[in-house]
Amino acid sequence: MRETIRFLKGGEVIELSDVRPTETVLDYLRLRCRLTGTKEGCGEGDCGACTVALGRLVNGRMVYRPINSCIQLLGMIDGAELVTVEDLAADGRLHPVQQAMVDLHGSQCGFCTPGFIMTLFTLYHAEGEEKSRKTVCDWLAGNLCRCTGYRPIVDAALNACFEAAGDAFAWRANETRDKLRAIMDSRDIYINRDGFFASPATVDGLASLYAANPDATLVAGATDVGLWVTKHLADLPKIIWLGRIAGLDRVEESPAGVLMGATATYADSEAAMAGLSPALGELWRRIGSKQVRASGTIGGNIANGSPIGDTPPALIALGATLELQSKDNERTLPLEDFFLEYGKQDRKPDEFVTGVFVPRPDANQIFRCFKISKRFDQDISSVMGAFRFTVVSGTITDARIAYGGMAGTPMRAKGAETALIGAVLDNPASWGTAMKALVSDFKPLTDMRASSEYRMETARALLAKALMEASGSDPAGLNVLDHREAADDRAA
């Protein structure tokens, strides 16, 4: 048992024993260290003013990813290198990213600038990224600027971020790796201060601890729990962080499908999901931002049971199964059966999610999924639709259809599924019964994101779009592009 967390900051090992369960990285930096370059804006991981970089060892090499420090709990950076804007300049010279922002006038009021700088720092250290405005815009989707406008910031990124890294972090990478290896171990962490922050190192250790503390809050990426702290001011005296459990972050590809551990992040699983279906890859790209995808997990998105979570409808349509475990039992169940009603899941008090298996579509199966939201980036779905059709000789022999935002849980459209069996793809008239069945399958609510009528019309339109694409219509011709991406296409 270890009663401290350990991480690197400025090349030095920091060891803390006085970590409160819900203390955030932002509060640590600003209140304890008086490092005020990192800003607080929205307090919920949307604006990016609080962005810092975390460096971790991945397959023996240093990987830097941006995170929202306002919703990242301090205990979660154990075993990592924490990099803030104060760390970048070296020997009296600005970092290449900082210099590019100066040279190309990428900053005015300066409040958002440190966050942009830190996201671009992680892009500077990323490998294999295509040099394009689209790439830069994807990386900057989680950073907001109201002064400069994005053109000079994007220009600075294009100028600085696509050559081999040549900063001080690259020069001392071997030294950093050695220091990280020295502070990482396989002991459980348990810090008892105003409650406890715990981080088991094994699944068995988690099972025992959770059985003894079923009232504890399980945290994977904190992209949701962090908002309970910052927005709801929730008192969470017992935190169990899952991020150090060996093997729980696995992403295993096979001919049958993809097995993802509960703590596999969106960033870690994006390539595997795109390998299952390009539509899944596009969905993953639009979940949150780089900061959110670097921390947020598929297991967490499922376990919190949100009716508007982006991943469950897509995974349900593909026939995913969920793995659950407790101290004395393990079981699997179809993912759709996990969601019982709003705010209630089929999970016993001491059970926790360990993984999800997503089957690979067969050669005669067609899969599509579509996210509808008010903003292209960084937005919650109004309606999420996912469709898998099994097609033999142009006729649908089986269908799985799932929606988010249409009910109190992610839910299958079983009436529409039944109505589609026997429908002929090149005969749109045979789809009509399924369109009508959606009215019986769902009674959506009206809320701040969409009206009931809008949701129903959108659900029917998405089913029609999926069927049109399955029939062989050009998907590109059916896409309504975000204005930003349409401009990129015209420029190309």
HEC profile of 243-306: CCCCCCCCEEEECCEEEEECCCEHHHHHHHHHHHCHHHHHHHHCCCCHHHHHHCEHHHHHHCCC
The alpha carbon torsion through 13, 16, 21, 24 (nearest 10 deg) reads -50
- Provide the pLDDT for residue 492: 43
Furthest C-alpha separation in the chain: 71
Tell me: the pLDDT tens digits for 268-307?
A: 999 999 999 999 999 999 999 999 999 999 999 999 888 8
Predicted pLDDT of residue 124: 97
| pLDDT of 487 over the 70 cut | no
CB 249 within 8 A of CB 264: yes
The distance in angstroms from the start CA to the end CA of the chain is 56
* Per-residue pLDDT tens over the stretch 48-88: 999 999 999 998 899 999 999 999 999 999 999 999 999 99
Are 109 and 147 in contact by the 8 Å Cβ rule? The answer is yes
Tell me the two tokens of residue 435.
């369109």
Helices (H), 374-429: 414-420
Q: Say what angle helices 96-103 and 113-124 make with each other, to 10 degrees.
A: 130
Query: How far apart are the C-alpha atoms of 225 and 232, rounded to whole Å?
Result: 10
User: String of b and e for 5-25 (b: at least 16 CB within 10 Å)?
Assistant: bbbbbeeeebebeebbbbbbb
Give the model confidence (pLDDT) of 336-394 as tens digits: 999 999 989 999 999 999 999 999 999 999 999 999 998 888 888 999 999 999 999 99
pLDDT at 481 > cutoff 60: no
Cβ proximity of 330 and 324 under 8 Å: yes
What percent of the chain is predicted at pLDDT more than 70? 96
Do the beta carbons of residue 21 and residue 237 sit within 8 Å?
A: yes
* 3-state SS, residue 6: strand
pLDDT for 255 beyond 90:
yes
Residue 486's pLDDT band, with cuts at 50, 70 and 90, is low
pLDDT at 482: 53
What is the number of other CB atoms lying within 10 angstroms of the CB of residue 2? 17
pLDDT computed for residue 476 by the predictor: 63
- Check residue 439 and give its pLDDT: 94
65 forms beta bridges with: 54
Could you name the CATH architecture of 89-166?
Orthogonal Bundle (1.10)
pLDDT of residue 17: 96
pTM of the model: 0.92
pLDDT of residue 378: 83
- Show the CA angle centred on residue 353, arms to residues 349 and 355, nearest 5°: 165
Give residue 152's identity as a one-letter amino acid code: P
Residue 45 burial class via C-beta count within 10 angstroms: exposed 0-12, middle 13-18, buried 19 and up = buried
| Cβ burial 106-138 (10 Å sphere, 16+ → b, else e) | bbeeeebbbbbbbbbbbbbbbeeeeeebebbbb
**Domain residue limits, the chain:** 5-86+172-241, 89-166, 251-478
Dig out the tokens for 451 from the structure. 């009206």
CATH of domain 251-478: 3.30.390.50
CATH 3.10.20.30, applies to 5-86+172-241: yes
What pLDDT does residue 466 have? 95
